[in-house]
Structure 1
Amino acid sequence: MKFTSSVIIALIAVISSVSSAQNVQSPTTPKSIVLAIGGEPETGFDPLLGWGSYGNPLFQSTLLNRDADLKTQPNLATQWTLSDDRLTWTISLREDVRFSDGSQLTAEDVAFTFNHAKASAGQLDLQVMKEATALDTKTVKIELTKPWITFVDFFFTLGIVPKASYGPEYGRHPIGSGPFQMVSWQEGQQLIVERNPYYFGKAPAFEQITFLFTGEDAGLAAANAGVVQMVSVPAQLADVVPEGFYPKAVQTVDNRGLSMPFPSPESVSGRKVGNSATSDLAIRKAMNLWIDRELVVYVALHGHGTPGYGPADALPWSGEVQVPHDPEAAQKLLDEAGWLMGADGVRIKDGVKAAFPINYPASDATRQALAETVAELLRPLGIEATPVGGSWDAIQRVMHSEPVVFGFGSHSPYQLYGIYASELGGVGYSNPSYYENSQVDKLFAQAQAAKTVEASYDHWSESAKHFGFKGDNAWVWLVNLDHVYFIDECLDLGKTQIEPHGHGWPVTATIADWRWTCQ
């Protein structure tokens, strides 16, 4: 394999960095491994600012865990109950937990973590929480302002921090009760971690792990040079496996789809909202019928993915059905709706052309490939879609009035709420298309008022009949990415989860089960 001079320079830097890292051992030694599986968090390793929302917080423990089958398992919590009025959680904690500095973890630390996460007003939205209170050293009470069953998501994702030592620099010097503790972090280069000697759970097989922040090309070059034992690769680079490695494609709900601005053009709080073409159900449904998702996976992802039909495919609350690929039905639908083919090959109705941009972040090769592939596929249907790459700042300015290649994917049904709830229209990246359906909102309210998350599934699933293909065709979902890893032949990851969106190293969720198989 050939590399550009810039990649070679980056590789040399990687090799030099790893070789000089404290106590990094030979790749053949089972006590230490090196990974290049993604970038580093901008705000550091602070759970209160979003670290650990996807995957394993690594340095911190959470109240609950999900196993490889996504089944709930106790972690810090031994019991957790919700009151009949759905407003109060009572959580009992293990008594044998210490932070990596040796101090005891108590209910005061849990209450502090939840209260401070709400006050931080970062990426985590805990506004539905009234207050968390330590009833004694091992019992926490969390009061809500209204029934909100998806609040339980924070039990799986919010790493607990120590009240006594938490401060502004915590994200760069984390102390937690998770399986690893930080040795050193050279921002933009590498992170070295080692086993936490006080960890109460199953001890990881490896005493030390180095995470390299190389970028995709240099990470692959490092694998070819034998510097790393695992590297994540995008679909465009996933077909040439380095010698001594095996490829592993992990199933995900890391989806990509086109947001379709839902209302007719209007101004909302000074924002341009809605689109004359995409506000027509006939356009949205025809696109869903026309696009051959198997072909999109083959062309844009080089086969490393699956067709996408909704934001929660394969999860028990998805409620989505496969969208048939029916080009004839798509054409008939547009003809009957008055979208007639113009002389320039673009359909037109009442003076409005079936034409719009498809925006994507210019730095994302996968989203660019999806935008370009979909644009070409839509051309024969008479829809003129123009791929436009830009920064996220630029996309934010147009995402309420023009389609965007967005990506989501989590282990929580709240993902549906975040995309389709009318009250979230224009709130950050939530519901960017300003979708609104009162029946969907009603079903969401019923889901949030359920006694358990499992009891809410039917309501979430029912809502898909309204926002999905059988109803409003609110989005045009395209694909679910495979997360592709090249893994040293001696490294066995065991059973992996259906992974969420790719932020935060989700493959490390089962890190306690990783094993080195060579002697």
Structure 2
Amino acid sequence: MAAFVFMPTGEPVNPTSGVSDESISGGSDELISEDSAELVAAVGTHGGEPETGFNPITGWGYNREPLVQSTLFKKDSNGSLIHDLATNYSVSDDGLTWTVNIRNDVKFHDGVPLTARDVAFTFNTAANSSGVDISVLKNAVALDNYTVEFKLNDPQATFIHKLAVLGIVPEHAYDETYGDNPIGSGPYRFVQWNKGQQAIFEANPDYYGQKPYFKKLTLLFMQSDTAFAAAKSGQVDLAEIPSSYANEKVDGMKIVSLNSIDARGITFPMQPDTGRKTENGYSIGNNVTSDPVIRKALNIGIDRQALINGALNGQGEEEFTGVDKLPFGNKEAIFEDGNVDEAGKILADSGWKDTDGDGILEKNGLKAEFTLLYPSNAQDRQALAVALSEEARKLGINIKVEGKSWDEIDTLAHSTPVIFGFGSLDPTDLYLKYYSKSYDPSSYNNVIMYNNSVVDNYLRTAITSVDQDTANKNWQLAAWDGTTGFSEKGDATWLWLASIDYLYIMDEDLDIGIPKIQPHGADIFGNILEWNRTANKTAIQ
């Protein structure tokens, strides 16, 4: 088949027992057919074709394996940091200065050596762009060819995660057209991009790390239904597919389901509607979701597993805090859901009653109803929104579901609940969601306008702490400390529903090793350097 791969985010964990590196890299060419070392992948549901091209500074590969570019650090299959370009790093006592040493044996695809100047240029350029969020960076300076110093505006210990997600671009070859013809130092070189159709990459023969088995990757930009049809007809080796196809059978192919930390949750605007507007003139506040009783009733009354079984065809896991599976998640904040009776009681005790017999509760003339928005191109979110509306009806709460473009959602998110997707190994996401001063009317940072001084204190302690145990403890306390927190047991700020599974159909002989933890947007190719074909492995053993 042709070759194609797209949007990776992980790293190899070395599942190569009994197989030499030479064999995996294609060293024994007589045993590896040219076709077997090519990969065609249809991936478009999550991530999809990059609008601004393969440019890390405008978002390409952020939180995923960028293929073309290298990063300073990577994360292994357990989510632990490992070196890529970086060889070591240090942090000043005040947490404001980070010094990173890099390898001295790396070249860009055009043969020019990669130095600390390129690293500093990449981060400084990204900090002044809107494509990625590294606003904490004051500036980066190359101290010598292989040492770069980062000065921060705020002592954020989580800055280490930024060093693992931004691909390094060459200062000498960067301009406004870079995304259309990128040069990097990663495991694959860019070959061509037929916009709206495909992108092609080939293995970098000068790559400093483990050489990939697949010498050519072809990424086909397809929607999920089309991708599944392409897999059935034998046109692709790998396709990302929707959960509705989980039980399909295709000769010569297998379906693989990958767990993720990609959680789906619903924002609850926490301010009442008093007529306030954002600086852009968008309405702020919602009189229904600003009532904590409504928020708590929905959290404990809906049956998350029923939502997963129905809307996601069983492809997901219950989610209660948005970070249940992560080291900084608080298990004490998890609660029993599906308790319709208890939800009904707290609603009734607070004065929410159905006085006109229409099945919808009222209080002081206000109906217990609101609109829930989802991005109109997201099938899983639409399905979850519709299923949630049905569950909420059992509680006497009427949720009106509407699909909108992101441009429309931008104008409504401060006053209307939205079903979002989040999932990162970087706890900075928690800080941006719940820290009161992170509110930004031009972004989704603390879009609910949450303000709890106790939670703020935990979040600041966590993000500035260089001790990981102390940081994790404070992230957890921010969710629930026994008295307050952002979780349902405290202020019930969000309605978290499920972490989704990512579903792929692929050739039976395709061995994808041990995939990395799947973040929001998926990272199927995060460990592409480990991939092989089982027929080839058998032949060369």
Same topology, TM > 0.5: yes
Q: In structure 2, how many angstroms separate the alpha carbons of the residues matched to 1:127 and 1:215?
A: 33
Contact 1:36/1:214 (<8 A) preserved = yes
Contact 1:450/1:456 (<8 A) preserved = yes
Q: In structure 1, how many angstroms separate the alpha carbons of the residues matched to 2:52 and 2:469?
A: 33
SS at match of 2:283: strand
Call closer, same or farther: CA 1:509–1:335 in 2, change over 3 Å: same
Call closer, same or farther: CA 1:295–1:28 in 2, change over 3 Å: farther
Aligned to 1:42: 51
Question: How much has 1:452 moved relative to structure 2?
Answer: 4.6
SS at match of 1:335: helix
Aligned to 2:210: 202
Give, as a single letter, the amino acid of the residue that structure 1 aligns with 2:268.
M
- TM-score for the superposition, normalised by structure 2: 0.88
Aligned to 1:367: 381
Call closer, same or farther: CA 1:27–1:384 in 2, change over 3 Å: farther
Aligned to 2:319: 308
Q: 2:38 aligns with which of 21, 32, 36?
A: 32
Residues 307-366 of structure 1: per-residue CA shift (max 9 Å, x gap): 111222211012253321222211111111111123211111112111111111222221
Q: How does 1:63-462 map to 2 (within 5 A)?
A: 63-119=72-128, 121-266=129-274, 267-269=276-278, 270-320=281-331, 321-325=333-337, 326-342=339-355, 343-425=357-439, 426-453=441-468, 455-462=470-477
Call closer, same or farther: CA 1:254–1:290 in 2, change over 3 Å: same
Aligned to 2:12: none
Call closer, same or farther: CA 1:454–1:41 in 2, change over 3 Å: farther
Question: How much has 1:237 moved relative to structure 2?
Answer: 2.9
Question: How much has 1:436 moved relative to structure 2?
Answer: 1.8
User: Considering only aligned residues, what root-mean-square deviation do their CA atoms show, in Å?
Assistant: 1.8
Contact 2:302/2:388 (<8 A) preserved = yes
Q: In structure 1, how many angstroms separate the alpha carbons of the residues matched to 2:34 and 2:352?
A: 64
Contact 1:35/1:212 (<8 A) preserved = yes
SS at match of 1:198: coil
Contact 2:373/2:416 (<8 A) preserved = yes
Contact 1:27/1:33 (<8 A) preserved = no
Name structure 2 gaps, 5 residues minimum: 5-31, 537-541
Contact 1:62/1:155 (<8 A) preserved = yes
SS at match of 1:185: strand
Aligned to 1:470: 489
Q: Structure 1 runs of 4+ off > 4 angstroms?
A: 15-18, 452-455
Question: How much has 1:454 moved relative to structure 2?
Answer: 5.3
Question: How much has 1:111 moved relative to structure 2?
Answer: 0.9
SS at match of 2:202: strand
Give, as a single letter, the amino acid of the residue that structure 1 aligns with 2:86.
A
SS at match of 1:153: helix
Give, as a single letter, the amino acid of the residue that structure 1 aligns with 2:253.
F
Contact 1:192/1:209 (<8 A) preserved = yes
Residues 206-263 of structure 1: per-residue CA shift (max 9 Å, x gap): 1111111122122111101111111001112333132211111111111111111111
SS at match of 1:386: strand
SS at match of 1:115: helix
Q: In structure 2, how many angstroms separate the alpha carbons of the residues matched to 1:495 and 1:171?
A: 30
Call closer, same or farther: CA 1:294–1:147 in 2, change over 3 Å: same
Contact 1:195/1:204 (<8 A) preserved = yes
Aligned to 2:527: 510
Call closer, same or farther: CA 1:27–1:253 in 2, change over 3 Å: farther
Name structure 1 gaps, 5 residues minimum: 1-14, 19-25
Contact 1:422/1:437 (<8 A) preserved = yes
Q: In structure 2, how many angstroms separate the alpha carbons of the residues matched to 1:433 and 1:421?
A: 11
Q: 2:61 aligns with which of 37, 48, 52?
A: 52
Q: In structure 2, how many angstroms separate the alpha carbons of the residues matched to 1:107 and 1:272?
A: 46
Mean CA deviation greater in 470-479 or 314-323: 314-323
- TM-score for the superposition, normalised by structure 1: 0.92
Contact 2:66/2:167 (<8 A) preserved = yes
Aligned to 2:9: none
Contact 2:3/2:218 (<8 A) preserved = no
Give, as a single letter, the amino acid of the residue that structure 1 aligns with 2:285.
G
Q: In structure 2, how many angstroms separate the alpha carbons of the residues matched to 1:80 and 1:384?
A: 53
SS at match of 1:285: helix
Call closer, same or farther: CA 1:27–1:185 in 2, change over 3 Å: farther
Q: Percent of aligned pairs with the same residue?
A: 40
Give, as a single letter, the amino acid of the residue that structure 2 aligns with 1:188.
G
Contact 1:311/1:416 (<8 A) preserved = no
Q: 2:515 aligns with which of 496, 500, 504?
A: 496
Aligned residues: 495
Mean CA deviation greater in 68-77 or 451-460: 451-460
Q: In structure 2, how many angstroms separate the alpha carbons of the residues matched to 1:380 and 1:390?
A: 26
Question: How much has 1:36 moved relative to structure 2?
Answer: 0.8
Mean CA deviation greater in 230-239 or 418-427: 418-427
Contact 2:140/2:148 (<8 A) preserved = yes
Call closer, same or farther: CA 1:462–1:17 in 2, change over 3 Å: closer
Q: In structure 2, how many angstroms separate the alpha carbons of the residues matched to 1:98 and 1:65?
A: 18
Q: In structure 2, how many angstroms separate the alpha carbons of the residues matched to 1:405 and 1:139?
A: 43
Question: How much has 1:16 moved relative to structure 2?
Answer: 11
Contact 2:375/2:406 (<8 A) preserved = yes
SS at match of 1:91: strand
Question: How much has 1:470 moved relative to structure 2?
Answer: 1.5
SS at match of 1:263: coil
